[in-house]
Structure 1
């Protein structure tokens, strides 16, 4: 699908069936979403440049993701998408500046693009060219990344309250509650890790964008690019802080699981120690020796039972006194 956005806010759909001879001069942004081979060839013919394929976008080498060729600036960044799901991921998006236009090529739907399209009419002065469109779009991407981190912080705080709840809440926990929370911790870690990778990609892209002559020639775009770079740096530091909190939460959860398991093992250990003396008494009077004076006692049986009970009670209260129970 190919969509063109004009400087006056008009939206134009470009189709292979109605292949235009040339692009309208007022189109400042061409958005290619999951383009097929025919659409790639049509845009290459209209723009006179080579369009990166999906395999080209996956190339992680900086020299292949950020370069200039035939008066066109090619940039590729990894953006977070599906952040609201249990399996967030990264998608590679290409940004191309050529002939005063911006072209984007993507094979997913990062929410930042929908937010930018919805707010385009509110941009002061509009977007008269591709450079302004690019910097404004990058600003929205940075804002969306900040929103993802804020949502992650809220979810991690809720998870922390579940793990470190008050005693009344802890006692009402179902079995294997903490083990289930480990999956949540892993999900949050994946989201933050993907966000950090995206921020690193955006930081490299912005450093490259700042050196583009078209950006340097536009003072407002240059200043906005510098501001976005600072925001990206701040977000990267914040993501590192969140990652540290997740690591602490993971270690604490594993520690609490070990404490619960040790408590169960301690109960069995104490029970075995408490029952050991009565077992010893019963074993003695279960021996089949001919000469055992107690066997002739009329009160031998109740005395043996009393001895077993006393031998069990004394260790029990001793453990209570020592605070082991």
Structure 2
């Protein structure tokens, strides 16, 4: 899908037809956005503007030179944006080029960040006069979305913590799986935030990015630093939650072992009595007792009861 945003009569217009690209004056263009485009759409945009989008492999490179580069009058940027899936977060690499005030973006997924950025742009179209402003709006929207994701994660962690304290609704295995899932989400968020932090830092050092927007970048870097701290707190809270969970498991296991230990010790005296009177010797004085069997039973009961009472007085039960 191709989206072309350009200035027209002091407002922001949009086209989606590839043929209309050549009819729009280049000085009016602001943003050319490719979302899961056809080969023809991608090739036409690259040829017409003499640019080259990064491949998916290049977009996923971790080297700083692959993430941000300046070539003559072009800013070449590769950044990962989070895409929310059923089983958690997934990375969507986005290839970004800023050349002569025109923003070019290439992505495969329909990202929430881009959708919300477009809503912001439509709310005040007259204030957007170049691609730098569009790019800053996308970054601001991405940071806001990351903040919302962290707040949502913190709320779910708090709910899980409450369930753990009450020991309701979940088995031990479910608790451990959920904690592990939250840890993976926290790490994904951290990687995404750090990626934006590196990008904004690089933009602040860039000689091609307009000086007039440096104030906005400085505010962004402060917001990102705040998100890093919140993310760190969420991860520490999950570690504490995991330690608490393991503590509960150990307490339960110790309680079970204690029950078996007490039962074993309580039955040791009766077992000794039964072993003695179960020996087959002729010269056993008690073998002729009329009430010998009853006495042995009573001794076994009393010995077990005495052991349990002793444990109770010692607060071992």
TM over 0.5: yes
Q: Pick from 70, 75, 78 the counterpart of residue 77 of structure 2.
A: 75
| TM-score (ref. length: structure 1) | 0.90
State the match for 1:141 in structure 2.
142
- The aligned residue for residue 178 of structure 1 is 172
In structure 2, which of residues 201, 226, 236 is the aligned counterpart of residue 234 of structure 1?
226
> Which position in structure 1 is the counterpart of 2:112?
111
| CA positional deviation for 1:210 | 2.0
Separation of aligned partners in 1, 2:233 and 2:131: 35
What's the RMSD between the two structures over aligned residues? 2.0
- Cα 1:73–1:22 change in 2 (3 A) is farther
Indicate yes or no: 2:282 matched with 1:276: no
Q: CA deviation at 1:319?
A: 1.6
Task: State whether structure 2 residue 48 is matched by structure 1 residue 46.
Answer: yes
| Structure 2 equivalent of residue 32 of structure 1 | 34
Q: Does the residue aligned with 2:103 lie in a helix, a strand or coil?
A: strand
Corresponding residue of 2:98 = 97
Matched, 1:201 2:203: no
Give the structure 1 partner of residue 66 of structure 2: 64
Q: CA deviation at 1:22?
A: 5.8
Question: Which structure 1 residue ranges, 5 or more long, are not aligned?
Answer: none
Distance 1:70 1:127, change over 3 A: same
> Alpha-carbon deviations, 1:222-279, whole Å to 9, x = none?
2111111110111111111111111111122122112211211211111111111111
Is the 1:216–1:222 Cα contact (8 Å) retained in structure 2?
yes
Deviation at 1:70, TM superposition (A): 4.0
Instruction: Report how far residue 23 of structure 1 moved.
Output: 4.8
Tell me how far 1:19 sits from its aligned partner. Answer: 7.3
Q: Secondary structure at the match of 1:215?
A: coil
Find the counterpart in structure 2 of residue 11 from structure 1: 14
Contact 2:4–2:21 under 8 Å retained in 1: no
| CA contact 2:29–2:102 (8 Å) conserved in 1 | yes
Q: Residue in 2 aligned with 1:55?
A: 57
User: 1:315 and 1:23 mapped to 2: Cα distance?
Assistant: 95
Deviation string 1:42-94 (CA, Å, 9 cap, x unpaired) is: 11112111121112111111011100124211112222221x63331222222
2:115 and 2:228 map into 1 onto residues whose CA distance is 23
Contact 1:102 1:131 in 2 (8 A): yes
What is the CA–CA distance in structure 1 between the aligned matches of 2:5 and 2:23, rounded to whole Å?
15
Q: Is the 8 A contact 1:5 1:29 kept in 2?
A: yes
Aligned residues: 313
Supply the distance in 2 between the matched residues of 1:11 and 1:254 (Cα, whole angstroms).
Answer: 56
Answer yes or no: is 1:285 the counterpart of 2:260: no
Structure 1 window deviating more from structure 2 (121-130 vs 147-156): it is: 121-130
Alignment of 1:216-255 (within 5 A): 216-217=210-211, 219=212, 221-255=213-247
Call closer, same or farther: CA 1:24–1:323 in 2, change over 3 Å.
farther
CA contact (8 A) 1:179 1:257 kept: no
Which secondary structure state, in structure 1, belongs to the residue aligned with residue 31 of structure 2? strand
Which consecutive residues of structure 2, in runs of 5 or more, have no partner in the other structure? none
CA deviation profile, 1:124-155 (whole Å, cap 9, x unmatched): 85311101111111111100000000001000
Q: Distance in 1 between matches of 2:38 and 2:108?
A: 10
Residue 289 of structure 1 aligns to a residue whose secondary structure is coil
User: Secondary structure at the residue paired with 2:316?
Assistant: coil
